[in-house]
Amino acid sequence: MKRKKLSTIIFTALLGMVLCKCTNPVQSVQPNSGFNISFKPTPPKDLADSNASSKQLIEFAWEEFFALNWKSSYSKDGLRDHPDTLWNYSDTSSAYPNLAVWETYAHRSELRPYSDTMLPFDSAPHYSYGDKLYPADRNANFRLFDVLDENNEIGSCDIYAHVNKYDKQHRVLYQAKVNRYEYDYVLKHYPNKSKLITARAYTAKMIDSINAYYPGVKNSCDCPPDYQGITLPCGSNGGDVGAMEVKTAWRELTPLDDSTKFFTRKVVYFRKEGNKIVYANKTYALIGLHIIHKTKNYNDFVFATWEHVDVQKDSMGYILLDTSGKETGKFYKGYPRLHPIPAIVDSSTQFVHDRLRKMNPKSIWLNYRLVGVQGKPTGDSSTFNYFLANYVVESDSTLADFKGSGIGTPDDGKPNILYDGQFFTMGGCQGCHGVAQKNLGGDFSFLLDTVGKPIKQPDLYGDHSRKLMALIEATKKSK
């Protein structure tokens, strides 16, 4: 009896282990270090309250990261922003899936199409620009999920890789995307440029006149259903995920790089040939990733950012742009990181890497680290991650040291963000996006403004954007 009972226990335990690996996508780890991070196929919806500790914000950010980098179900069911729940991070067949959930988010030219006609979220990839685009050759594919149509840091600077050997040969390109909840909100309420402009102006007017999105409402998540302005959907425990945006930075690999250490994709990029704008495909490597997420307890969004572990070793360099979009002045080669990554953030990366290595020693995410996370706005520049900046997304001092009231006044110390009925001078990513909230009425999203949107043409690889002057003019309003 005892031997039979013991055999039954062993069999049940082994069966449980098999089922856990094959059918249960949740992999929770609770180390002695005190971090509690779960590897789940869906992102967390909110934090427990609006006064989360730095550790809790870090845990929240990592759970977002792993959910968004989960394998997409798109090849099976045609659903975008949807995970394949039969997959998990213990899959050792590859270093990363052939398509991640965040890649299926809607591109900015799908959210703000030049045709002014948004399509249903689950439509196949479709990119709408004003200028006619031509394929570089008969094999050029314009329906890929990664379309790198931005070639600078929002008009502030151009950035290049391995400049010690290649000078300005390998330029960093960018793309921005939104999740289903944000896209469907815009599609339902403001599906064309005219309606969005009206709503944006209304929101900015309300913020300017009453220090709120709506009379008597301090949390923008509490605006009534018939609110005429822009208040993106909020994630809440027991409710939906809420609005999320992702911005990514990419570059070509060179013989100096070990390609096995990078998340790579065949992408769409653009260049000019004569008088034509052409699109072409090439393999690029991911070197930076931003995630921003609006929740009930963090209605000014949670901002989190990651980068490849070797970005500071890869001889990156940047050149500032003037207001006409031309490169000007010094070429800053091997520039310093202006604000160090906090020790607790580095500790979380080490913890995550330790767990990943046990699940899949080939995991590509062993080569990426968290830079930091911002939660509740503050006016105290000595607080945790106040100047949050990614080494390859906010490289120059304009963005890395941002604490101003507009893009043209990045360090004037004037208020740039509304929170709980009060204005603050917030730094870093959140402060910069606060300008999109306070001055532009776009609820922290630069994708909802009218600065070059709808998008007439993508940034061209060989040209320089003239975004900076437009952003400066658009964000001049101060309170």
User: Which one, of 285, 284, 288, lies nearest residue 268 by Cα?
Assistant: 284
Range of lowest pLDDT (16-25, 274-283, 349-358, 401-410): 16-25
Token couple for 298: 């963090």
Name the percent of the chain lying above pLDDT 90: 85
Output the pLDDT for position 476.
Answer: 76
Q: How far apart are the first and last CA of the chain?
A: 80
Helices (H), 369-446: 397-400, 428-438
pLDDT tens column, 79-115: 999 999 999 999 999 999 999 999 999 999 999 999 9
pLDDT tens column, 221-248: 999 999 999 999 999 999 999 999 999 9
Helix or strand or coil: residue 310?
coil
Structure confidence at residue 475 as a pLDDT band (50, 70, 90)? confident
pLDDT at 1 over 90: no
pLDDT at 71 over 60: yes
pLDDT at 177 over 70: yes
Output the pLDDT for position 136.
Answer: 96
Q: What is the DSSP letter of 130?
A: S
Name the percent of the chain lying above pLDDT 70: 91
- HEC string for 69-86: CCEECHHHHCCCCCECCC
In angstroms, the CA 409 to CA 276 distance is: 36
Contact 377, 419 (CB under 8 A): yes
pLDDT at 380 over 80: yes
- CA 262 to each of CA 12, 93, 265, 283: distance values in angstroms, whole numbers, following the listed order: 40, 16, 10, 11
Query: What is the tally of helices (H) and strands (E) in the chain?
Result: 11, 15
pLDDT at 429 over 90: yes
pLDDT tens column, 297-340: 999 999 999 999 999 999 999 999 988 888 999 999 999 999 99
Helix or strand or coil: residue 372?
strand
Structure confidence at residue 34 as a pLDDT band (50, 70, 90)? confident
Task: Determine phi and psi for 357, rounding to 5 degrees.
Answer: -60, -35
Q: What is the DSSP letter of 31?
A: -
The chain-wide mean pLDDT, for the chain, equals 91
358-362: Cβ within 8 A, 24+ apart: 359/27, 359/39, 359/89, 359/90, 360/89, 360/90, 360/91, 360/92, 360/95, 361/92, 362/92, 362/94, 362/95
Find the mean pLDDT for residues 185-204.
Answer: 97
pLDDT at 427 over 50: yes
Contact 96, 105 (CB under 8 A): no
Q: What's the predicted TM-score (pTM) here?
A: 0.92
In angstroms, the CA 311 to CA 336 distance is: 11
